[in-house]
Amino acid sequence: MWQELKALHDRTQGRRIVGQFKEDPERAARFSAQTDALRLDYSKTLIDASIRAALIALCDRVDLAGRRAAMFGGALVNETEHRAALHTALRNLDGGPVLVEGQDVMPQVRSGLARMQDFSRALRDGTLSGSGGAITDVISIGIGGSDLGPAMATLALAPYHDGPRLHYVSNVDGAHLADTLKGLDPKTTWVNVSSKTFTTVETMTNAHSARDWMQRGGGDPARQFSAISCAGALAGAFGIPPERVFGFADWVGGRYSIWGPIGLPLMIAVGPDTFVEFLRGGQAMDAHFRTAAWGENLPVLMALTGLWHSRVCGFPTRAVLPYDQRLARLPAYLQQLEMESNGKSVAMDGSALEGRSGPIVWGEPGTNGQHAFFQLLHQGTDVVPCEFLIAARGHEPEMAHHHRLLMANCLAQSKALMLGRSLDQARAMMEAQGMQGAELERQARHRVFEGNRPSVTLSYPQLTPFVLGQLIALYEHRVFVEGVILGINSFDQFGVELGKEVATWLTPILAGDETGEGLDGSTLALVDHLRQHGG
Ligand SMILES: O=P(O)(O)OC[C@H]1O[C@](O)(CO)[C@@H](O)[C@@H]1O
């Protein structure tokens, strides 16, 4: 299936991205696509019309249309766990019924959303209060998919906050909770525990410690706690009554769960109406993904460009570079979405995956990254395809000049990565500075930029709730398309289990309750060292 693309790749040897713009003045338009809110430019890559056609042919080879219909239609596409993957139903605001094993799930989705709206209104208007009066702060405890989405989106939508202050605690490192609690009043703080299973050790440890803190400080955990979980009975056993437990079905995967109850902390921060705008953005992207031709379809084009770079060109990583400070947590969010979904070496049918799985995703907001790792992006020996994100305007009209600088830097980086600087140009620069001979040659070589480094750019008018919804749904569908083409089940995550099991049996050894008999030498020595220096 990849032979033709490998052959096309061989034919790109020696070709320059920048040269393609000279050959085809319409290239930027021909190699971009858009929705009503997002524009994707993938023209700064070596993808040409025949490569694109071969990539698009992959979609039909793997029956992407059939798989897409199966996912939206509630089929058990998560075959290893025998579950549907129906996060799209959570944003199906104006759509028809969605059947899972013959049952329409939409009434349940609608009543779940209505409960979230009622609850968040009550918390925001003071109907629900703490022992010390109206709630000023909400701590949401969760980890992975029960944290990254809402934490990322809460930061992204900061200009829309008009509710209590939101704080997220995820790490089992007591420092995370301790630093968050500093300065908070236990009598006016609400604690929400988000855990699909209600057994995740990090979340439960933090939840118990937060409850102790509240009790010690005169707060009332019996009225100031809520839970978001599929395991209502466990939340009840923790002491949270059913009217404050928000459940959801097992067809919502953790990393796809921001659209439903797991998004409740975001709804508390920005209000139910703004949250619905966010859902509408996701819904608009679903409609685009379902109807746009492959060559105009943003999630498909993002997936195909990604597969071209990772699977065909062999670039092992991809940098996500939001030139948008409020998307600072997007790379971390995408690390879970993409790497937990597609970081696998076994295909859906149990056979060994041929070739590379999904790439390593990393990144930081611009312009900060420029002053850190962009050196490697421009001159390192590994090529790292870059994904730039930029808004046409910020939320601070009085600082429009900041935004112009931000945009200039974003566009400058993708252009510089593509253009590079030749040895002759570097020599001329050194000569102009009065340098000569061997020293000129040596200095010039350090200033050469190979260029021809690919990037794509996503641009949008402004980071609004609707745009954010489109963006997140775009990435979800991109992961789905990549997974289908690679033959991976993007909806399970068995790779996280082994480490958890080992941690469970190391904990009593570190506490001194069990001996380390049978441990490997390295782990045993580390245990000894930590115990020797521990309290
Ligand atoms: O919501 P839970 O059950 O606490 O799980 C949290 C996270 O842990 C994981 O299972 C990975 O460790 C994720 O898939 C999930 O989002």
Per the rule left: phi > 0, alpha: psi between -120 and 50, beta: everything else, 164 is beta
Regarding the beta carbon of 203 and ligand 1, being less than 6 Å apart is answered yes
- Computed over every residue of the chain, the mean pLDDT equals 97
Region 515-534 average pLDDT: 94
CA of 100 to the centre of ligand 1 (A): 23
pLDDT, tens digit, 9 for 90 and up, residues 12-22 = 999 999 999 99
Inter-residue contact 299 to 478 (CB < 8 Å): yes
CA of 306 to the centre of ligand 1 (A): 26
Inter-residue contact 295 to 49 (CB < 8 Å): no
pLDDT, tens digit, 9 for 90 and up, residues 404-422 = 999 999 999 999 999 999 9
Which of 78, 87, 143 to mutate to test ligand 1, by most ligand atoms within 8 A of the CB atom?
Answer: 143
Q: Higher-confidence residue: 165 or 357?
A: 165
Question: Looking up tokens 């604690």, which residue turns up?
Answer: 191
Atom in ligand 1 nearest the alpha carbon of residue 262: 1
Inter-residue contact 299 to 481 (CB < 8 Å): yes
CA of 195 to the centre of ligand 1 (A): 7
The tokens for 165 are 């202050």
Regarding the beta carbon of 496 and ligand 1, being less than 6 Å apart is answered yes
Regarding the beta carbon of 254 and ligand 1, being less than 6 Å apart is answered yes
The tokens for 513 are 């309750």
- Closest CA to ligand 1's atom 16: 145
**Is pTM, for the whole model, over 0.90?**
yes
Q: How far apart (Å, rounded) are the C-alpha atoms in residues 34 and 39? A: 4
Which of 496, 501, 504 to mutate to test ligand 1, by most ligand atoms within 8 A of the CB atom?
Answer: 496
Atom in ligand 1 nearest the alpha carbon of residue 148: 16
* Three-state secondary structure string covering 342-393: HCCCECCCCCECCCCCCCEEECCCCCHHHHCCHHHHHHCCCCCCEEEEEECC
Q: How far apart (Å, rounded) are the C-alpha atoms in residues 431 and 408? A: 29
* Residue 475 pLDDT > 90: yes
- Closest CA to ligand 1's atom 7: 144
Regarding the beta carbon of 49 and ligand 1, being less than 6 Å apart is answered no
Regarding the beta carbon of 200 and ligand 1, being less than 6 Å apart is answered yes
The distance in angstroms from the start CA to the end CA of the chain is 58
CA of 170 to the centre of ligand 1 (A): 11
DSSP-derived 3-state class of residue 42: coil
Regarding the beta carbon of 341 and ligand 1, being less than 6 Å apart is answered no
Regarding the beta carbon of 252 and ligand 1, being less than 6 Å apart is answered no
Q: Above pLDDT 70, what percent of the chain?
A: 100
CA of 119 to the centre of ligand 1 (A): 24
Atom in ligand 1 nearest the alpha carbon of residue 142: 4
CA of 146 to the centre of ligand 1 (A): 7
Q: Give the E-state strand segments of 20-158 in sequence order.
A: 32-34, 39-41, 99-100, 103-104, 129-130, 133-134, 137-141
Tell me, what's the ipTM? 0.97
Which positions ≥6 away from 270 have C-beta within 8 Å?
Answer: 154, 157, 160, 161, 162, 163, 278, 465
Amino acid 94: pLDDT: 86
Regarding the beta carbon of 359 and ligand 1, being less than 6 Å apart is answered no
Q: How far apart (Å, rounded) are the C-alpha atoms in residues 521 and 282? A: 50
| CATH 3.40.50.10490 residue ranges for the chain | 3-47+292-419+453-492, 103-277
CATH pick for 3-47+292-419+453-492 out of 3.30.420.40, 3.40.50.300, 3.40.50.10490, 2.30.140.10: 3.40.50.10490
Which of 196, 229, 248, 337 to mutate to test ligand 1, by most ligand atoms within 8 A of the CB atom?
Answer: 196
CA of 172 to the centre of ligand 1 (A): 13
pLDDT, tens digit, 9 for 90 and up, residues 150-206 = 999 999 999 999 999 999 999 999 999 999 999 999 999 999 999 999 999 999 999
pLDDT, tens digit, 9 for 90 and up, residues 32-80 = 999 999 999 999 999 999 999 999 999 999 999 999 999 999 999 999 9
pLDDT, tens digit, 9 for 90 and up, residues 98-115 = 998 889 999 999 999 999
Region 425-438 average pLDDT: 97
Regarding the beta carbon of 358 and ligand 1, being less than 6 Å apart is answered no
Regarding the beta carbon of 255 and ligand 1, being less than 6 Å apart is answered yes
Atom in ligand 1 nearest the alpha carbon of residue 255: 16
User: What are 421's strand-pairing partners?
Assistant: 449
Q: Which residues are catalytic?
A: 340, 371, 500
Amino acid 101: pLDDT: 87
DSSP-derived 3-state class of residue 396: coil
Does CATH number 3.50.50.60 belong to domain 103-277? no
- Tell me the pLDDT band of 472, cut-offs 50, 70 and 90: very high
Amino acid 1: pLDDT: 83
Position 186, amino acid: P
Regarding the beta carbon of 196 and ligand 1, being less than 6 Å apart is answered yes
Q: How far apart (Å, rounded) are the C-alpha atoms in residues 406 and 394? A: 10
Q: For helices 465-486 and 148-156, what crossing angle results, to 10°? A: 140
Amino acid 535: pLDDT: 63
Atom in ligand 1 nearest the alpha carbon of residue 500: 12
CA of 145 to the centre of ligand 1 (A): 6
The tokens for 240 are 């949270």
| Residue 486 dihedral angles phi and psi, to the nearest 5° | -80, -15
Nearest Cα residue to 47 out of 312, 416, 340:
312
User: What are 40's strand-pairing partners?
Assistant: 33, 458
Does CATH number 1.20.140 belong to domain 495-533? no
Regarding the beta carbon of 206 and ligand 1, being less than 6 Å apart is answered no
CA of 76 to the centre of ligand 1 (A): 20
Regarding the beta carbon of 146 and ligand 1, being less than 6 Å apart is answered yes
